[in-house]
Amino acid sequence: MEINKVLVIGSGQMGSGIAQVLAQAGYEVVLNDIKQEFVERGLNNITKQLTRLVEKGRVTEADKEQYLANITTSVSYDDAKDVDLVIEAATENREIKLNIFKQLSELVKEDAILATNTSSLSITEIATVTNRPHKVIGLHFFNPVPVMKLIELNIGLTTDRETVEAMKTLSERLGKTAIEVKDAPGFAVNRILIPMINEAIFVLSEGISTVEEIDEAMKLGANHPMGPLALADYIGLDTVQAIMNVLYDGYKDPKYRPCHLLRKYVEAGKLGRKSGAGFYNY
């Protein structure tokens, strides 16, 4: 099937990034959120990112204006009625996501695909609340979306091959590399990455090394571009904890238990960059 018009649900960091790359690839994009002020904030972020690209000489001013013209804003799910694809990038909350998909499946046209940017939740479960389980798939982008080249195609038990191939084609048009991952808690990247971050927090909690030393060790000793604690702050400590909880609940293996220090930071509201403080101050 051909994808021309896409509705992006959620205009935060991930949603606005997804909308930007879609617009740059020539898609007609509807950026949706629950309040107009949220949508405007997301559109402003896209404008800032495109302005930086103009300043760096990577796109022209005319290009920027065309990309922005490809985006319209929305605060109503009624705007989903004529789209070919929905990409949900709302908060990583099971009940919120299930409610969104239940509503949207009744509004979109019969052959529209429903995709979620979830980083850990079950695609198969999300599909069960819709009237088209074969058209539900995980389309997991990574932050920052315009820079990161990977998309995980997270395939539910009921997802059909036509949907997978359509999302592969879309990924290629966005200049991304898509990998297929079967539906399992944490999928591939986060099942490996988030427990590593959690283990770094255990190392810190046990007084084995300092925040700075742990990050420096992993940058110089493992050639990571960013230390695990700085990365945790970038992702958001609440998100790290939420993914660890999904892994722990899904596999019932104690190796996936969230570190107690991670829980304390989240309880204190020290969530990382978005709150101004986490393992580092911003």
| DSSP-assigned states of every residue in 49-61 | HHHHHHHTTSS-H
**CA pair distance 209, 75, nearest whole angstrom:** 47
Measured CA to CA, the distance from residue 128 to residue 249 in angstroms comes to 20
Distance between CA atoms of 142 and 179, rounded to whole angstroms? 13
Tally the residues of the chain: 282
In this structure, the number of other CB atoms found within 10 A of the CB of residue 42 comes to: 25
Instruction: State yes or no: cis peptide before 195, omega within 30 of 0.
Output: no
| Tokens describing residue 152 | 């995980």
For residues 111 and 114, give the distance between their C-alpha atoms in angstroms, rounded to a whole number.
10
Nearest to 197 by CA among 124, 138, 119: 119
Catalytic positions: 119, 140, 152, 190
